Amino acid sequence: MNPKNLPDNDELEIEHNETLGTVKPRSDKEDIAAEESFSSSGEEVVEAPSLAEETDIEKLKEKLVQAEERYLRLAAEFDNYKRRSSRQFDDTIQNAEHEIFRQILEIVDNFKLAVELPENQKNFGSFQSGMKMIYEQMKRFLQKHKIEPIQAVGQKFNPEFHEAVMQIESDEHPEGTVASELGGGYKRGDKIIRHAKVGVSKGKERK
């Protein structure tokens, strides 16, 4: 018999459930999954990669190895290319030099013939003619290689082309112009090979 004004047990249980909220009991499968997700120490267990994931990892490793092999092969081929190019460049320069030397040696031969001419055949006229012939041969050689003389005498002194080695008085050439050439200058295109060594006029002789 319940005391007066006190609710019975069923009513107390209903009020308790309404206050705390209804808790839905978990199934056995959910309990097992929760237990398996944690280790005995309370840490979460990391699942091992699946077979498909392991296959993907192996494929990536294989691609990395192949990429590394391609890189090493390309690096070796590039090194070989540089060596071949260097050898070809050296050969080209050497062949060009040899051709120039060959042409110079032809001129040397003519000098040798002039020097070794027998004494009874030597005279000033023939010697001068031989020297003129050799000089013309030298000019043809320079022209063939596009080497041009720099104009000097009568030109306004220009340090870009001329190297002043002295100043001289001159009635023929105004002050500041080249009055004499002591060493010829030469250029190839826009490149100066050698400046002309000149005497620069300082005007008329003072009396």
The answer to the question of residue 176 being in a domain is yes
What distance in Å separates the CA atoms of residue 76 and residue 83, rounded to the nearest whole number?
11
The answer to the question of residue 72 being in a domain is no
Q: Residue 156 belongs to a domain with what CATH number?
A: 2.30.22.10
Which structural domain range is residue 181 located in?
149-207
Q: Count how many domains the chain has.
A: 1
Burial class (CB in 10 A: 0-12, 13-18, 19+), 150: buried
The answer to the question of residue 129 being in a domain is no
- Residue 90 identity: D
Q: pLDDT for 106-164, tens place per residue? A: 888 888 877 777 666 667 777 788 888 888 988 899 998 899 999 999 999 999 999 99
The answer to the question of residue 37 being in a domain is no
Do residues 153 and 186 touch, judged by C-beta distance below 8 A? no
The answer to the question of residue 87 being in a domain is no
Do residues 44 and 37 touch, judged by C-beta distance below 8 A? yes
The reported pTM is 0.52
Predicted local confidence at residue 14, as pLDDT: 47
Q: pLDDT for 2-33, tens place per residue? A: 444 544 545 545 444 444 444 445 555 555 55
